[in-house]
């Protein structure tokens, strides 16, 4: 029972999950990952700034699907899958969800500006000639197809996929530091 055909790929995945669970249990002895543990694993290098802390809290909340303030193992696995193996479209949908602070299904300038400001401060390759407002204006010029001052998920994905600069400005990326 439950011992049907299994190929080597299934065994590798099972082995990886078991190792991942062992590491998760070691890092999170309570059985759940809290924000401070998440930051320890996924934080940008060095002492985090206020912006980096806000960014990490937003990312953590996006992975906390049941909104209980902690990540269970399966939420953690889903997060890692998205970060390491997720398709570009899935990563863009996730980024959009984080940007859409009020959850209304579209982005206004305030929402875009808030996240761009955080990302801009995190990136090392800042352009001193571009202000946050300049970046937001350019994003809206390139992405807001119907010029209604709102970016839908479809416009967001299409704009990011068509323009490498827009992609660089809009896509959220995280990775473990350990």
Render pLDDT for 76-125 as a digit per residue (tens, 0 to 9): 888 888 877 888 898 889 889 888 888 899 999 999 988 888 777 766 55
The percent of residues in the chain predicted with pLDDT above 90, rounded, is 28
CB of 76 closer than 8 Å to CB of 40: no
Residue 89: burial class (beta carbons within 10 Å; 0-12, 13-18, 19+): exposed
Q: Quote the pLDDT of residue 46.
A: 64
Domains of the chain listed by start with CATH number: 10-85 (1.10.238.10), 87-173 (1.10.238.10)
CB of 170 closer than 8 Å to CB of 92: yes
pLDDT of 173 higher than 80: no
Rg of the chain's alpha carbons, rounded to an integer? 18
User: How many C-beta atoms surround the C-beta of residue 53 within 10 A?
Assistant: 15
CB of 145 closer than 8 Å to CB of 155: yes
Total-model pTM = 0.73
The residues pairing with 107 across neighbouring beta strands, listed in sequence order, are 151
Report angle CA 117, 96, 46 to the nearest 5 degrees. Answer: 45
E-strand stretches of 82-129: 106-107
The residues pairing with 152 across neighbouring beta strands, listed in sequence order, are 106
Given pLDDT bands bounded at 50, 70 and 90, which one contains residue 156?
A: very high
Q: Quote the pLDDT of residue 34.
A: 94
């Amino acid at each position: 029972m439950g011992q049907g055909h299994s190929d080597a790929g299934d065994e590798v995945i099972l082995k990886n999950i078991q190792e991942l669970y062992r590491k998760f249990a070691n890092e999170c002895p309570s059985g759940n990952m809290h924000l401070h543990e998440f930051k320890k694993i996924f934080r940008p290098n060095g002492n985090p700034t206020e912006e980096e802390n806000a960014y990490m809290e937003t990312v953590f909340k996006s992975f906390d699907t049941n909104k209980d303030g902690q990540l269970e193992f399966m939420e953690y696995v889903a997060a890692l899958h998205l970060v390491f193996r997720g398709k570009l479209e899935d990563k863009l949908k996730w980024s959009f969800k984080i940007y859409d602070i009020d959850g209304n299904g579209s982005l206004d300038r305030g929402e875009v500006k808030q996240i761009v400001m955080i990302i801009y401060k995190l990136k090392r390759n800042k352009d001193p000639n571009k202000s946050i407002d300049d970046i937001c204006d350019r994003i809206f010029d390139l992405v807001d197809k119907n010029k209604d001052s709102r970016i839908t998920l479809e416009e967001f994905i299409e704009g990011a996929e068509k323009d490498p600069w827009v992609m660089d400005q809009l896509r959220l990326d995280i990775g473990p530091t350990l």
